[in-house]
Amino acid sequence: MFTTSERETCELQIQSELGYNFNINNFNEAYADMLLFYALRYYSQNAFTDLHNGVEDCFEATRPQDVATIRSELENSLYSVVRVGPKLDLDWSIATAAANLDPRAVLSTEESSLFCTSTRLNFYEGIMETTITPTRAVVSQPVISDEIQLERINAVLNTNFGTMESYFNHFETEAKKYWLRQSVDPIASFETIYNNRQELYVAEGFTGPDLFRLVEQMDIFKETSDQMIREIPSVYCSSQISKIMIALMMLMAVVV
């Protein structure tokens, strides 16, 4: 068992390798799912590289005497998986619905059924929870009215947001479209918001170190997202699927 300090160290080490939030308490469940996806030929072997490196870094920092053993166990767990012959044609709508958190992305039936859609949404949430969301929670909130913030934001983007909630929801919706490779808002897409990130944070009233931290975390979110989006088609979801097969959820429960 890990101590609290060791657990925190390990989460930071793994997060550093993955680029997104990872709860070590759920490691066994998450790793079992990954092995299942690998067995079903949705994940390639490269999908395990960063996680394995993160786990080794974790033990290097907390229990260096166990690194060789852990490395061997991870390799054996992967190499012992017997992969199916052809890719199974499965429907992932349940997994996609679970991953599609508020504000929800608008998805077609075909998009909802794809393993790649649920994978992209899960990675999106993980990276958002590592970068922008926690930073917004700790910076000092500007002491200016919503009306002034909205007036400034609308002036930067040439938009007409009526509430700050609608602006924040729009940002997340457009960020999900960016991840899902969907058609974007022609006026205020994610890339438009990103390109005006500093001006928009200033419009909200942020200054000094808080402004720097928010801009920095937006940069990290964008850079990490672009890297993951490039890797996803070949590493995490090489198959496009469309037929309903809810029994997969039962299979996953048995494996876990």
Q: What is the pLDDT of residues 9-38, one digit of tens each?
A: 999 999 999 888 888 888 999 999 999 999
Instruction: Give the pLDDT confidence score for residue 255 in this predicted structure.
Output: 42
Instruction: Give the pLDDT confidence score for residue 254 in this predicted structure.
Output: 43
CB 7 within 8 A of CB 24: yes
SS3 readout for 67-119: HHHHHHHHHHHHHCCCCCCCCCCCCCHHHHHHHCCCCCCCCCHHHHHCHHHHH
Task: Identify the three-state secondary structure at position 180.
Answer: helix
Give alpha helix (H) positions in the chain. Answer: 4-18, 27-39, 49-62, 67-79, 93-99, 109-113, 115-128, 132-138, 146-157, 164-180, 190-195, 197-204, 208-235, 247-255
What is d(CA 78, CA 60) in angstroms, rounded to the nearest whole number?
21
Instruction: Give the pLDDT confidence score for residue 35 in this predicted structure.
Output: 93
The DSSP symbol for 46 reads G
Instruction: Give the pLDDT confidence score for residue 238 in this predicted structure.
Output: 57
Instruction: Give the pLDDT confidence score for residue 95 in this predicted structure.
Output: 94
Parts of the chain with a pLDDT under 70: 87, 238-256
